[in-house]
């Protein structure tokens, strides 16, 4: 990597614009910047999930596999942010989507079919996985909005969609491997 930040603040964004990797200056609320921001937020929350998993792996060794599957996702989210910041840059490929799908399939085989709606919770790790899942959906919506304004090349949209699926299944696997019952949704009683 040839570019290194030597100074963190530049004062160039003080007027509400920011620079993209291709040299363009856009408003900080531009759909591209919104998408980059949501991907960054998701990446931060995945980091928090990974830190929590690392803290619990000694008491639930099966969590190491979840760590191994999710760790590359942080790097790929950074790649996706790069693609969003530099539209001509393409880093993601279908092999990464296939990796996520393979993990989903393996975990789904372990879990069996989902017969009820489940709620986020049961443990802090399960809830954090669901936070990541919901943030992946938000990032996907922002990327879809950008795609409607400036069509996106590559597989980024498919990747973020599949990642949200993976995070849902990861939450369920975490529950199983922690030995924590999933919280099943209970419908409100019909008014009399």
Query: Quick one: tokens of 79?
Result: 């790649």
Tell me which residue range forms the domain holding 70: 27-182
Q: What is the predicted pLDDT for the residue at 112?
A: 87
Q: Does residue 16 sit within a domain? A: no
Is 103 domain-assigned? yes
Specify if 38 maps to a domain.
yes
Q: Interior CA angle at 60 toward 161 and 67, to 5°?
A: 35
- Does pLDDT of 100 surpass 60? yes
Cα 31 off chain centre by:
18
Mean of pLDDT values over 44-63: 96
Global confidence as pTM: 0.90
**Residue 174 structure tokens:** 């975490």
Average pLDDT of the chain is 91
Query: How many domains are there within the chain?
Result: 1
Is there a domain that residue 96 lies in? Answer: yes
- Give the pLDDT of residue 58: 92
> What is the mean pLDDT of the segment spanning 24-44?
90
Domain CATH number, residue 57:
1.20.1200.10
Q: Is residue 81 part of a domain?
A: yes
Predicted local confidence at residue 1, as pLDDT = 45
pLDDT digits over 119-144, tens only? 999 999 999 999 999 999 999 999 99
- Residue 7 CA to chain centroid, in angstroms? 29
68-96 burial, b at 16+ Cβ within 10 Å, e below that, comes to ebbeebbebbebbbbbbbebeeebbeeeb
* Cα atoms found within 13 Å of the Cα of residue 77, Cβ hemisphere only: 28
Percent of the chain at pLDDT > 90 equals: 78
Q: Is 150 contained in some domain?
A: yes
Average confidence (pLDDT) over 143-169: 96
Report if residue 12 sits inside a domain: no
- Do residues 77 and 43 touch, judged by C-beta distance below 8 A? yes
Let me know if residue 11 belongs to a domain.
no
């Amino acid at each position: 990597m040839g570019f290194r930040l030597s100074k963190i603040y530049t004062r160039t964004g003080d007027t509400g614009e920011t620079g993209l990797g291709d040299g363009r200056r856009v408003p900080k609320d531009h759909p591209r910047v919104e998408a980059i921001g949501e991907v960054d937020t998701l990446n931060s929350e995945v980091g928090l999930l990974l830190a929590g998993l690392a803290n619990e792996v000694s008491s639930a060794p099966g969590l190491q596999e979840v760590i191994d599957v999710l760790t590359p996702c942080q790097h790929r989210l950074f790649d996706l942010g790069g693609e969003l910041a530099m539209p001509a840059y393409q880093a993601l490929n279908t092999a990464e989507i296939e990796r996520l799908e393979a993990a989903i399939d393996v975990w789904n085989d372990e879990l069996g079919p989902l017969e009820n709606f489940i709620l986020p919770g049961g443990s802090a790790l399960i809830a954090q996985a669901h936070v990541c899942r919901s943030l992946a959906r938000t990032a996907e919506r922002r990327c879809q909005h950008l795609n409607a304004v400036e069509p996106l090349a590559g597989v980024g949209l498919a990747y973020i969609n599949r990642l949200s699926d993976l995070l849902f299944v990861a939450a369920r696997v975490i529950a199983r491997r922690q030995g924590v019952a999933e919280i099943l949704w209970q419908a409100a009683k019909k008014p009399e």
